Structure 1
Amino acid sequence: MLTYTNIIIAIMMPAVIFLALFQPARKVAIRLGLVDKPNARKQHKGTVPLIGGILIFLSVLITQLLMEDVLRDFSFLKVIFISGGLLTMMGVLDDRFDIRATIKLFIQLVLAHLAINNGFMITSFFGILGIHELSYPLQYVISLLAIVGFVNAFNLMDGIDGLAGSFALFSIAILAALAYTAGANFLFLVLLSFIPAIVVFLVFNTGKKYKIFMGDAGSLFLGYLIILSGIHLMGVIAIDEKSLNNIAILLCILFIPIMDSLRVYLLRINKGGSPFKADRNHLHHLFLAGGYSPLKSTIYIVSTAVLFILIVVFSGDRFDINWTIFILLGCFITLIALLRYNAYIKEWTEKIKKF
């Protein structure tokens, strides 16, 4: 229920709970070895507790239980916090023990299946590529691929300080605004609760004292939350000319993580390697290779997502959704080309200096 009491609880309590749990969780994580250690692919110094995702999850879950009439939409809570909780637990175990990729994929498929069985299903393409309503088998397969694909794509964004948290904050804020305008009040309150929790996380994540990381527990869960919220909104947004703009905005949220992951997978396959073998070819790595700091890289990537949404908003009355997607794809390809050229120039500049 969208009451002033629930709105105040959603805005204030997650931050309070996060801060209350922070020091105990930090001490337990260090004692259990739930920390990230520096290596050849990581730039941070010293061990950093991987508790950000756990604290975000717990602070929002406890907040939701404090709200009035919380059981009215229990079916939604069940999927987000029970299935999402299992995904968070898997992330914690992966952070600590490095679970095999095949096991993680199997668990993600099972949880995606549970979400689909509870109504989180893509039923239409809304005219994209001339496709509208989908048959049930296609609805199931596309929904399964969308959920698992985006969860992993968002997980791969967690490569530099602040990026995954900032992109999640941006995405959830946009989703919350769309939920509010669509009258999806319960989803709005859930998403609103995540905003203060992520803000507090970012303060510690980008700081130097008491630094923490999100870990797979956080990136997997937030990816799950974002894609399920997007699918849910696709079902509640009425289909008309104005709402197609909102569908395009939803696609903007998913666009950068998915397109960057597909690009990297294709590069790995083209080189004859495994598509799942880690490397330094992601979008944020290209920014770093061009000489940008992690903070500037994060700002530019989130700003690119904001730019994409502005393109959708201002082109909505001029182009159909297919042309809008084509424009976004062209912008993304251009960005990658410029970053690769910039990294190439920087590399040769350094070589000339050494010579």
Structure 2
Amino acid sequence: MIQDLLAYFDPLDYLGIWLLWAFILAFIVSWLTFPTIIRVAQVKQLMDEPGSRSSHSTKTPTLGGIAIFFSLAVVITTIGGVLDTKILMLLLGGLTVLFFLGLKDDLLVLAPRTKFLAQLLVAGVLIIFTDTRIVGFFGIFGITTLPYVVSVLFTLFVYILIINAYNLIDGVDGLAGSLALFACAALAFLFWKTQDVSMTTIAVATIGSLVPFLRFNFSKKRKIFMGDTGSMIVGFLIAFFVVRFLSEAQMFPTSLYYTSAPILALAIVFFPLLDTLRIFFIRAVIHKKSPFKADRNHLHHGFINLGYSHKQTTLCIVIINTVLFILALLFKDFEIHLQLCLLLAIGTVLYSVAFIYHWLLKNKSQSKIVEQSR
């Protein structure tokens, strides 16, 4: 009886209820798990010690990724049974590998090379066994289709870039979690529009797992950080969503986003990529040091230095990224190179406005002081 019902069940027929259930299930599991993790971390002293680069002044648990992983695992292994099982099981396998490596890194510290190789491994398995890859550049720079090997290598590069970009932006309260929530919401919308139920479900479930995390991440008394466990899992998921969206859009010329998919994807991950490329340029070119050596030159540190609080910094960045995504949707029927130029120009300006404004105020104040001293 149950088998017959499952055989004819199509989530598309009940999509609203289906997605609500995925969100609620992930939310409940995540919400119930966080207090236990915080309590265990405090008892066992599994806490992050504030250092010279830290934006916090007290010992704080860094195991938030455990609850995020656990809630996603529950969703995938239960309601995932009526979705695209093959790709979800491979996705869960990749999440599990990164979960344990991230956990070890949060507790004992892991060599960067080991993390890099693990990221290559899980991304490679997904690319090869599901053939979910970036096939070409959608006509950008005149490139439509890439040779298979180049396509695989470029897709691997995208995975590594996005995973580590989300790790690098995890520097102030709520930023990585809020940007991940925004990215999952934007991608869930795109997957919903293209009727990709499996990806819409997992994106919505990820939102459900992140909402409780943000509640505790912003808390003063029961604070918890995402840690490398959470940032790697979230970064890997968003990278997979982006690659899946691009792959599906290019496979079907009649796709709703066939002429705009790469611009929409770039708009979604604009801030993490902008900050990563900027920080690597500052470290390697300007300061002549290793691009992997941590410092306080991130954009979010810049907002903090201007006097913004953690919440204000996170809110400003998420609002700007949301505006960019909405604009990218409005531009989606433009010629693709024009879309790209508009996104890069507007994005750069929007993220520079606050710094330019404060710089002008500072110069104005200094000019007044000089005039008064004469």
Closer, same or farther: CA 127–339 of 1 in aligned 2, 3 Å? same
TM value normalised by structure 1: 0.91
| Residue number in structure 2 paired with 1:193 | 205
Counterpart-to-counterpart distance in 2, 1:332 and 1:178: 21
Q: Deviations over 1:84-109 (max 9, x none)?
A: 12112111111112212222212222
Moved more, 302-311 or 22-31: 22-31
Select the structure of larger CA radius of gyration.
2
Unmatched 5+ stretches in structure 1: none
Counting only pairs closer than 5 Å after superposition, residues 33-72 of structure 1 correspond to structure 2 as 33-67=45-79, 70=81, 72=83
CA contact (8 A) 1:249 1:309 kept: yes
Counterpart-to-counterpart distance in 1, 2:174 and 2:86: 32
Counterpart-to-counterpart distance in 2, 1:47 and 1:347: 35
Query: Structure 1 residue 257 and structure 2 residue 268: aligned?
Result: no
Deviation at 1:153, TM superposition (A): 0.7
| Residue number in structure 2 paired with 1:125 | 137
Match of 2:133, SS?
Answer: coil
Counterpart-to-counterpart distance in 1, 2:176 and 2:70: 18
TM value normalised by structure 2: 0.86
Deviation at 1:116, TM superposition (A): 1.5
Q: Deviations over 1:203-254 (max 9, x none)?
A: 1111112111111111111110011111112222333584123442122112
Deviation at 1:336, TM superposition (A): 5.1
| Residue number in structure 2 paired with 1:284 | 300
Unmatched 5+ stretches in structure 2: 1-9, 370-374
Moved more, 90-99 or 324-333: 324-333
Q: Deviations over 1:114-159 (max 9, x none)?
A: 1221223111111112210111121011011100111001111111
Partner of residue 289 from structure 2, selected from 263, 273, 282 = 273
Counterpart-to-counterpart distance in 2, 1:175 and 1:241: 15
Moved more, 187-196 or 219-228: 187-196
CA contact (8 A) 2:34 2:213 kept: no
Counterpart-to-counterpart distance in 2, 1:212 and 1:148: 25
Partner of residue 329 from structure 1, selected from 332, 344, 351 = 344
Deviation at 1:274, TM superposition (A): 0.2
| Residue number in structure 1 paired with 2:7 | none
Question: Match of 1:262, as an amino acid?
Answer: L
Counterpart-to-counterpart distance in 1, 2:20 and 2:323: 31
Q: Deviations over 1:270-329 (max 9, x none)?
A: 121000001111121121122111111111111111111122122233x31212211222
**Aligned residue pair count:** 350
Q: Deviations over 1:48-92 (max 9, x none)?
A: 11222110110121123232x616522221232111121121111
CA contact (8 A) 1:10 1:192 kept: yes
Counting only pairs closer than 5 Å after superposition, residues 116-195 of structure 1 correspond to structure 2 as 116-118=127-129, 119-195=131-207
Question: Match of 2:85, as an amino acid?
Answer: F
Moved more, 306-315 or 85-94: 306-315
Query: Structure 1 residue 320 and structure 2 residue 332: aligned?
Result: no
Q: CA RMSD in A?
A: 2.3
- Give aligned-pair identity as a percent: 31
CA contact (8 A) 1:175 1:229 kept: yes
CA contact (8 A) 1:289 1:343 kept: no
Match of 1:133, SS?
Answer: coil
Counting only pairs closer than 5 Å after superposition, residues 294-309 of structure 1 correspond to structure 2 as 294-309=310-325
